[in-house]
Structure 1
Amino acid sequence: MKKLTFILATLLASAAVFAFAFTTEWKVGPKYNIAFSAGEVSGIFKTFTGSLFFDDKDLAGSKFNVSIDVNSINTGNGLQNKHAKDVDWFDAAKYPTITFASKKFAKTGAGYTVTGDLTLHGVKKEISIPFTFANNTFAGTFQVNRNDYKVGKPGGDVEDIVKLTVSVPVVKK
């Protein structure tokens, strides 16, 4: 019985490694765009890194682990950038990164959805992000309620719902 259990465990482990081995690893290209808008405030994050494993034929083996450097925020206004990094908003000194770690992928009519944990301003919440993958570019648009992550104070000049638009060209690693 122990031998049978060992053989089954070995086969399952081998199958997991085998499945992962065929998922394509992608390297982020230089012309990515991580843009946000909330009412009259908009901008980009200039520094984005991560590991991307994706294959439309192996969604179970696909995985995204990405990070945005909060200090790379660029609204086109130096004073606004400084204010965004301050303790009243992102508190970049205490929370220097925004991360997303995928848990699962699903095929949808228009493309795909990735579900995972978004960690922002020390708060981790599960979200789902719709995206497409065409011409070696991941692209998606989604919304985040900044109040869910305790970023800024509710109300004011910045809308509570922040729209994010992501375009990440990739090349095979």
Structure 2
Amino acid sequence: MKKLLLPVAAVVVLAASAFTYAITQDLKIKEGYAVKFSGSGANGVFKDLKGQVIFDENNPGTAKFDVTIDVKSINTGNGLKNSHAKGSKWFDAAKYPVIHFVSSKVTKTGAGYQAEGVLEMHGVKKPLIIPFTYAKQGTGGTFHGVFNVNRTDFGIGEPGGRVDDIFKLEVNVPVAQ
């Protein structure tokens, strides 16, 4: 009996590990994503988002987000504001070319999910929680999140003035296998 149990246990372990691998495959970020920011004095989008997305809506503990935004892709709809935002008084895109978020924990919430992690912007790393939803569509889906970031926490611009310190970010990211 023991001789029969060992091969059966091995097959179960191999099958389970193969299934686990299948549900934690990377999702590819599709075209049509949007990273919008809004506040008084400046509104716009970042047009270049890249990264690794691993997500299983039934097992969020296995999820991982490691994404970057190219600071030079900022678009406020005004060329002068774009140049100013990329300059040394604001984002300093030459010195700090990317905004980077890496999740450390993803959990299910009553309204969807939340990703806890570290946001690095302008050379400063801060913990951040991003609430989000996921709408499954075929073999992919769309992530949607709305959250606030205080630009002065990251040394971007001077506090106060004509531009809000706290900006609302809205992120929509379609993904596919």
**2:4 corresponding residue in structure 1:** none
Asked if residue 126 in structure 1 is aligned to residue 130 in structure 2, the reply is no
Asked if residue 161 in structure 1 is aligned to residue 166 in structure 2, the reply is yes
Pairwise CA distance, 1:156: 1.2
Q: Distance in 2 between matches of 1:36 and 1:21?
A: 35
**1:4 corresponding residue in structure 2:** none
Q: 1:58 to 1:24 in 2, by over 3 A?
A: farther
Q: What letter is aligned with 1:161?
A: I
Identity %: 52
**2:70 corresponding residue in structure 1:** 69
Structure 2, gaps ≥5 residues long: 1-13
Equivalent positions of 1:27-38 (< 5 A) are: 27-38=28-39
Asked if residue 142 in structure 1 is aligned to residue 142 in structure 2, the reply is no
Aligned length: 159
**2:99 corresponding residue in structure 1:** 98
CA displacement 1:94-145 (0-9 Å, x = unmatched): 0000000000011011100000000000000111000000030000000001
Pairwise CA distance, 1:22: 2.5
Pairwise CA distance, 1:17: 8.7
Structure whose alpha-carbon radius of gyration is higher: 2
Q: Distance in 2 between matches of 1:97 and 1:164?
A: 16
Pairwise CA distance, 1:56: 1.5
Q: 1:17 to 1:143 in 2, by over 3 A?
A: farther
**Bigger mean CA offset, 19-28 vs 35-44:** 19-28
Q: Which runs of 4+ in 1 moved over 6 A?
A: 14-18
CA displacement 1:134-167 (0-9 Å, x = unmatched): 0300000000011100000001111000100000
Q: Distance in 2 between matches of 1:82 and 1:45?
A: 14
Pairwise CA distance, 1:23: 1.6
Q: 1:80 to 1:67 in 2, by over 3 A?
A: same
Task: Give the RMSD, CA atoms, in angstroms.
Answer: 1.7
Q: Calculate the TM-score normalised by the size of structure 1.
A: 0.87
Q: 1:16 to 1:129 in 2, by over 3 A?
A: farther
- For the Cα contact (< 8 Å) 1:102–1:115, is it kept in 2? yes
Structure 1, gaps ≥5 residues long: 1-13
Q: Distance in 1 between matches of 2:21 and 2:40?
A: 42
Pairwise CA distance, 1:40: 3.1
